[in-house]
Amino acid sequence: MLVGIIGAPNKGKSTLFSALTLNRVDIADYPFTTIKPNSGVAYARKECPEVELGTKCNPRNAPCDNGTRMLPVNVIDVAGLVSGAHSGKGMGNQFLNDLAAADAFIIVVDGSGMTDSGGNPGSGDPAEDVDMVLNELTLWLADIISRHMPALSKAKDGVEALRGVLTGLKVSGEQIADAIAKTHLTSSNIGWGSTDIEKFSSELLRAAKPFVIASNKTDAAKDGAKTDALEARFGPGKVVRTSAEMELALRKASKAGLASYVPGAKDFSIGESAQGEQRKALEYMRSYVSHRGTGVQELIDRVVFGLLDNVVAYPVEDESKYSDHFGNVLPDAYLMRRGSTALDLAGRIHTDIAKSMLYAIDAKKKMRLAKDYELKENDVIKIVSAAR
């Protein structure tokens, strides 16, 4: 899974990336600090089945923090986007190509409204920044399709032809067909004009690359009016109020032993070693997060479990001990799209196991399950296969 962080310059993208991953990246209050994309790993959080089962897990692929399983998610932060980037303006459209494999986007805007669309100090409208990002993404995709239109117009099966053209963008034939149907376009011997291509591109992006908005720098806002306007337009489920700078400071303070902060928590303890200005700053942050938190952990959790609708499944070999053949309890945790089956889980473990799968067992209930059993949240599953 790959989540792309995208937005206009100087809205806090790189700070958000660092807060999510604790990677060191260039952060500054001027446009185009990020030239090459930053890649890292963030962690979505879910309660581990060890709490329900009354046993202690031995994680391999997803750490457990006091009963909370931390699910790794790949994150990429690319250069700031300006209007016209799809045609090479600003840092050019290379960053768009870097985002092609993303499953979802986090669009970062300045919720305080104190930077303009170019990332410079001044007055800005976060909603306009979202529109600009979505428009640039649409035009970027439209340009790709337009370049292949001579070949597409000769293809009888337009869906399959488009799937071939867009193979690197993680879009399915079903998503392409749905976008064609919703825009009322022909799917055979495609000869679309520029307006039709843009309509189709917008519809396809909506389905294949869903997004959530990080209304960042909310701790610096005089009021919440800008974010309120975002929620009114895009829906409250699409907007998360964040303070990436505060989250980064808290994670660093916790790492340094100055505080004991769990990402996403609305309270934390301040260590005795924090004195003077450090203590004063931590006390201010503690007061702030007690109301709504920094929003950063909520943001990645919402992308993974809300936007992309994943559940967590735990494959085991010994259903009585919930362990693998080495005795590790609940060793692996897999993010699976809702609707995935026990057979899909087998495929994540190994293709040979999936090919020879006979059935599955619900380790909690000790019940036999069919291969097409639909996985539920925190399922602990044994795959029974003829493969060794």
| Residue 58 domain flag | no
Specify the pLDDT at position 36.
62
What one-letter code names the amino acid at 324?
D
Residues 255 and 284 in one domain: yes
**Same domain, yes or no: 118 and 184:** yes
Q: What is the pLDDT of residue 30?
A: 37
In a shared domain, residues 160 and 12: yes
Residue 133 tokens, joined: 């990002």
Q: Assess contact for 247 and 296: CB atoms under 8 A.
A: yes
Count: domains in the chain: 3
pLDDT of residue 26: 41
Last residue of a domain, one of 188, 210, 234: 234
Instruction: Answer yes or no: do 288 and 330 share one domain.
Output: no
Whether residue 54 lies inside any domain: the answer is no
**363 and 332 within one domain:** yes
Do 373 and 227 sit in the same domain of this protein? no
Q: Is 69 a domain residue? A: no
Residues 144, 215 within the same domain: yes
Q: What is residue 117's predicted lDDT score, i.e. its pLDDT?
A: 75
Is 50 among the domain residues? no
| pTM tops 0.85, yes or no | yes
CA atoms within 13 A on the CB side of 20: 35
**Do 323 and 201 fall into the same domain?**
no
Inter-helix orientation angle 158-165/173-182, to 10°: 120
Final residue belonging to a domain, choices 184, 208, 234:
234
pLDDT of residue 95: 60
HEC string for the chain: CEEEEEECCCCCHHHHHHHHHCCCCCCCCCCCCCCCCEEEEEEEEEECHHHHHCCCCCCCCCCEECCEEEEEEEEEECCCCCCCHHHCCCCCCHHHHHCCCCCEEEEEEECCCCECCCCCECCCCHHHHHHHHHHHHHHHHHHHHHHCHHHHCCCCCHHHHHHHHCHHHCCCHHHHHHHHHHCCCCCCCCCCCHHHHHHHHHHHHHHHCCEEEEEECHHHCCCCHHHHHHHHHHCHHHEEECCHHHHHHHHHHHHCCCEECCCCCCCCEECCCCCHHHHHHHHHHHHHHHHHCCCHHHHHHHHHHHHCCEEEEEEECECCCCECCCCCECCCCEEEECCCEHHHHHHHHCHHHHHCEEEEEECCCCEEECCCCECCCCEEEEEEECCC
Tell whether 199 and 255 lie within a shared domain. Answer: no
Q: Final residue of a domain: which of 234, 262, 278? A: 234
Which residue in the block uniquely carries the two structure tokens 């000869």? 191
Determine the length of the chain. Answer: 388
> pLDDT per residue over 154-206, tens digit each?
999 999 999 999 988 999 999 999 999 999 999 999 989 999 999 999 999 99
Residue 61 domain flag: no
Kindly state whether residue 187 falls inside one of the protein's structural domains. yes
Same domain, 264 and 377: no
| CATH classification of the domain holding 343 | 3.10.20.30
Structural domain that includes position 268: 244-292
| Residues 221 and 258 placed together within one structural domain of the fold | no
Examine residue 73 and state whether it is found in any structural domain, yes or no. no
Residue 104 domain flag? yes
Residue segments in the chain with a per-residue pLDDT below the cut of 50 = 24-35, 90-92
The CATH number that applies at residue 122 is 1.10.8.470
Do 82 and 205 lie in a common domain? yes
